[in-house]
Structure 1
């Protein structure tokens, strides 16, 4: 009986460790691809200045999704002179660091006319690290409408990234996260502030 118990415990522990290792490998692969195909930083010397928090699976959360009742378009402020048009597609609610959080998920009007990106959703946010360890305007997460299943969506903060304005000022029109998307917790995951020697 004891042998059976220990064997089952070993199998369960092994499965958990394998799942954790698989997640780390997949997320690290995602990060390496992000660095390799960076939209602004092209030189290897520049890419070496990118910094990230260690990958932590606790920052991958399953959130409840609630569709927006009033999906009117609105003009969103950006870091440049050009404003962009979005609408609230819905809200996500999740618990992280023992705190319940709610964020607005946005949809870009411009992308709806592009077959490749028409399913894309946008999750900009700020948190308690903003302006300290992370970029002062905020960070972004990409989602798709197909990610939402049975009113649930997985949000992986390990995959958040900086807007282009974090690397080059005055050239891009990066959406500024709305006040509704200011988290009251520190998200020590994903990309940190761009470091220049």
Structure 2
């Protein structure tokens, strides 16, 4: 049975109503989509700029060292509360012409390093010292990167058992600002596929460093 054709006059009157309904549906759909996206896109966690950058890096699947299953549930790294007392001025005693040596890693690979200098500083009311290292690869590439791996008495408790790292650059003078709030875990703390330098035993701090990234707790 054929549907009767709507009279032209009735059809003309019906168009505004149809258009209104269509526009209403479009607006409603756009609102629902934008609301859904807003719910999914959670703000980056972190109390400091450094913490937010770290969490953004770990949330990005293209850069994150996390395993796929851990990335799915990742909301943010666990940090010690920021503490300015863990930002110290260290005296740098350079050790020029030090020989290269093979720093062991968590795999069979070795990293060619040399002791660039010794850092002397006060922390938690006591005097401490740490060796700071320079990689042969960095030198060959003209990079002024320095590497500071260290152990402390939070390892295996609040922080990763294998110690943590701090990145630095060659200073112009004989002092270097050490910010332990930027101490981070080696990638192998998150994923065993990575090859990470093992912290030399002489870089053990006999004190608690309650700053930086804490131990990664897997679900």
Which category describes the TM-score, using the shorter chain as reference length?
Answer: 0.7 to 0.9
Structure 2, unpaired ranges of 5+: 1-46, 59-63
Question: How far 1:35 sits from its partner (Å)?
Answer: 1.5
State the secondary structure of the residue aligned to 2:52. Answer: helix
Aligned residues: 166
Question: How far 1:111 sits from its partner (Å)?
Answer: 2.1
What is the aligned partner in structure 2 of residue 82 from structure 1?
109
Tell me how large the CA RMSD over aligned residues is.
Answer: 1.8
What is the aligned partner in structure 2 of residue 195 from structure 1?
217
State which of 163, 175, 182 in structure 2 corresponds to 1:152. 175
8 Å CA contact 1:74, 1:85 repeated in 2: yes
Largest Rg, 1 or 2: 2
Q: TM-score under structure 1 normalisation?
A: 0.79
What does 1:10-159 correspond to in 2, within 5 Å? Answer: 28-38=48-58, 39-41=64-66, 43=71, 45-46=73-74, 48=75, 50-115=77-142, 118-145=143-170, 148-159=171-182
Is 1:175 the counterpart of 2:212 in the alignment?
no
2-structure distance, mates of 1:103, 1:185: 13
Structure 1, unpaired ranges of 5+: 1-26
2-structure distance, mates of 1:119, 1:97: 29
Q: 1:44 to 1:29 in 2, by over 3 A?
A: farther
Question: How far 1:121 sits from its partner (Å)?
Answer: 0.3
Structure 1 runs (4+) deviating above 6 angstroms are none
State which of 194, 208, 212 in structure 2 corresponds to 1:186. 208
8 Å CA contact 1:76, 1:84 repeated in 2: yes
Question: How far 1:114 sits from its partner (Å)?
Answer: 2.8
User: Could you say which structure has the greater relative contact order, defined with CA pairs below 8 angstroms and 6 or more residues apart?
Assistant: 1
8 Å CA contact 1:128, 1:185 repeated in 2: yes
Q: TM-score under structure 2 normalisation?
A: 0.72
